[in-house]
Structure 1
């Protein structure tokens, strides 16, 4: 919602101030299609040249995140803690044998199936199952497990940021691409130097539209989009950090409820359930 409001304010203030000062939209509208074709086409070409297909698809998906925000909401953090509570409780009370059927085939698990939204996130499920599998293989050194999890998180976070970095590269290039298109307009104007001043003035004005569009798109739209994409990735990354916090706490020998409470303390404040809310959710969980 705020992103849409921001776009409306951007165009309203920029073009509103221009019109209020006596400017005419005619020169801009006359050149707009050609300038957008040149700048937009060059920007798309730069994306295709500098990125692979996975990153390009990620940029498209990232635009959805710009307007939709992070996919994990407060209720999802509560579900995650409930899931980890059941898994660690099962491991502590029934042993690793009872846990193996859940982590080897999570899609058939009666524990995982209670949390369908988390099940759709392949990294979250793999991250949980791979870590618990390491524990069942007698890798019980909390520091080794924490280090292995940290490396997985770093790799995933680095890959998730690729689309935002690619978008920022486009923003950085747009002002220069606008100048390129403006220079072509100046070349065209110089080729018509014998025309009367009013014609030359219109041609120069059209050429400057390219510079204007490049700068405005870079700093008014594409740059903020890249910043927002980066922020959403950071928000979503906090979700996976909770998995690490709970499982490492479990390895240190804490009871399942204590491990979950340690994880709850690491949840971002805007999505953090209260102690009472979490306790009620865990007490209402059916026994496995």
Structure 2
């Protein structure tokens, strides 16, 4: 919502100030179509040249994050803590072996099926199940498990950030591509040097529109969108950090309630449940699955 308001304000204030100061908006409107064709065409082409199909598709999908924000809501964080509570509580009471049926087929698990939103995230489920599977193979050194989880998180986060990096690269290129369009306009003007001053002035003004549009789109639109996308992906990454915190805390010998309380500290502040809210949610959980 705020992103849409920001875009409206951006156009209204920039072009409104130009018109109020006596600028001829007709020059911009006349030149904009072919200048945008050159600038955006070159930007899209360079984007396709510099990125894999996986990144290109992810960037298109990631644009929704710019306007929708993080996919995880406060209830999702509470559900994750509840899920991890059930898992760690079961491990404490029955041992890791009792979880084998759940981690081998989470879609049919009586524990995982309680949380359909989390089940939609394949990485979260795989991350939990793979870590628990390591524990069933007697890898119970907290430091080794934490290190293995950290490497998985780094890999996932690096791949998730690729679209924002690609978008930022496009933003960095737009001012230069605007200059390319402007230079083409100057070349066109020089080819008509015998024309009257009023025609030459309009042609030079149209050429400068290219420089303006390149800088305007780079710093007013594309770069802020890349920054917002990165911010959202960073916040979504904290969801997986909670999994790491809780499972490592469990391996250190903490009770299930303590482990999820440690994980609660990794929840983003605007989505973090209070101690009492979490305690109330967990009190409704069964003692064991």
TM-score (norm 2): 0.98
Aligned to 1:132: 132
The equivalences for 1:165-244 within 5 A come to: 165-244=165-244
Show CA shifts across 1:51-106 (max 9, x none). 00110111111110000001111111100000000011111111222200000101
Q: In 1, distance between residues paired with 2:81 and 2:112?
A: 12
The equivalences for 1:99-178 within 5 A come to: 99-178=99-178
Q: In 2, distance between residues paired with 1:104 and 1:176?
A: 53
- The CA RMSD over aligned residues, in Å, is 0.7
Aligned to 1:18: 18
Q: Between Structure 1 and Structure 2, how many residues are aligned?
A: 288
Structure 1 residue 203: deviation in Å?
0.6
Bigger mean CA offset, 88-97 vs 16-25: 88-97
Aligned to 1:88: 88
3-state SS, counterpart of residue 215 of structure 2:
helix
Q: In 2, distance between residues paired with 1:117 and 1:47?
A: 33
Q: Which runs of 5+ in 2 are unaligned?
A: none
Q: In 1, distance between residues paired with 2:172 and 2:136?
A: 49
Show CA shifts across 1:124-164 (max 9, x none). 00000000000111000000000000000000011111000
Aligned to 1:272: 272
Q: In 1, distance between residues paired with 2:10 and 2:96?
A: 57
1:252 is the counterpart of 2:252: yes
Bigger mean CA offset, 278-287 vs 208-217: 278-287
Q: In 1, distance between residues paired with 2:85 and 2:259?
A: 8
Structure 1 residue 269: deviation in Å?
1.3
Q: In 2, distance between residues paired with 1:113 and 1:222?
A: 40
Aligned to 1:78: 78
Structure 1 residue 202: deviation in Å?
0.8
Aligned to 2:34: 34
Q: In 1, distance between residues paired with 2:198 and 2:96?
A: 84
Structure 1 residue 238: deviation in Å?
0.6
Q: Which runs of 4+ in 1 moved over 2 A?
A: none
Q: Which runs of 5+ in 1 are unaligned?
A: none
Q: In 1, distance between residues paired with 2:165 and 2:212?
A: 24
3-state SS, counterpart of residue 192 of structure 1:
coil
Q: In 2, distance between residues paired with 1:196 and 1:96?
A: 86
Aligned to 1:7: 7
3-state SS, counterpart of residue 194 of structure 2:
coil
Aligned to 1:66: 66
3-state SS, counterpart of residue 139 of structure 1:
coil
